[in-house]
Amino acid sequence: METQTDTNLKDLVRQKYSEIALQDKAENQASCCGAGGCSTEVYNIMTDDYSTMAGYNPEADLGLGCGLPTQFAQIKEGDTVIDLGSGAGNDCFVARNETGPTGRVIGIDFTPAMIEKARKNAASLGLDNVEFVQGDIEHMPIEHETADVVVSNCVLNLVPNKNGVFKEIFRTLKPGGHFSISDVVLSGQLPEALKKDAEMYAGCVSGAIDKHEYLNMIHTNGFTNVTLQKEKKIDIPKDILSRYLSESEIADFQAGKTGITSITVYAEKPKPCCDPSSGCC
């Protein structure tokens, strides 16, 4: 059951990402994960460069990711791919290049402004096998065993019920299907001021959980062959930290054991041992 805190966090994310949908990439890259104006340094502390990837469309790239999950997702021609938190459609269009015209790509986002922007981008590209659906990735409006591949880029850290999302990924994947997800995880504890601040939640940092807890959640939901495909250390610039911490607290934080990391993780939904109708199981 969703708590009032969870509902408030979702409302915050919806509001912030509705604002981001109306910004261009340059504005988003001046912020932490696109959360809006939290750094004076003109670069994104999370994002990787998509511009050399086949299928890339600049209009769909808002600079909001923390990895390149579609690069590692092993998408094949004819696959059905679901992108969780699809934004303006960036990963969907890269995935469509891999599935080809015989595949299907479904982007899910719960921000109406993002859905509208993504649909306009798809229409401008003339893609009739890429669709965008408004919905909550904790309760996907998708049939069981629909997808061959699920991808997501810097989204689960924004979701209060991450375990619920992994259950939904398992449900919507076909047996033998897999996911590749880029996300932000922690080692150690964030300072309370960062954990409690709403802007830092929408900025993808304070919603992150411990890396081992994150990976264990994947295992406990039945996935196999869990593999870290990429890890990248993330440093929060001092001008961001200074909004939340004193000089001494910043020094302690930077010298401490807390690590913030972007990971890209792969896992598979196992196939049944055999055909249950044969009575061999």
Q: Is the pLDDT of residue 51 over 80?
A: yes
pLDDT band (50, 70, 90) for residue 83:
very high
201 falls within a domain:
yes
Using alpha carbons, list the distances in angstroms from residue 232 to 56, 156, 228, 237, 266: 22, 17, 11, 16, 15
pLDDT at 29: 47
Instruction: Give pLDDT tens digits for 21-45.
Output: 666 555 544 444 444 444 433 235 6
192 falls within a domain:
yes
Measured distance CA(103)–CA(130) in Å, rounded? 9
274 falls within a domain:
no
- Over residues 165-193, mean pLDDT: 93
92 falls within a domain:
yes
Residue 55 region by backbone torsions, left for phi larger than 0, else alpha for psi between -120 and 50, else beta: left
Instruction: Give pLDDT tens digits for 218-274.
Output: 999 999 999 999 999 888 878 878 888 889 888 888 888 788 889 999 999 999 876
The structure tokens 């009575």 sit at 279
249 falls within a domain:
no
Out of 46-50, 65-69, 119-123, 174-178, which region has the weakest mean confidence (pLDDT)?
Answer: 46-50
275: CB partners within 8 A, 6+ apart: none
pLDDT at 43: 32
* Contact predicate 29/43, CB 8 Å: yes
Instruction: Give pLDDT tens digits for 96-133.
Output: 999 999 999 999 999 999 999 999 999 999 999 999 99
Could you tell me the CATH number of the domain that includes residue 58?
3.40.50.150
Number of domains into which the chain is organized: 1
| Domain extent at residue 178 | 4-237+254-269
46 falls within a domain:
yes
182 falls within a domain:
yes
User: Among residues of the chain, what percentage have pLDDT more than 70?
Assistant: 81
Measured distance CA(31)–CA(46) in Å, rounded? 10
pLDDT at 11: 73
pLDDT at 166: 98
194 falls within a domain:
yes
Percent composition of the chain: helix, strand, coil (DSSP 3-state, to 5): 40, 20, 40
- Across the chain, the runs of DSSP E, i.e. the strands, are 80-84, 104-109, 130-134, 147-153, 173-187, 209-210, 224-234, 259-268
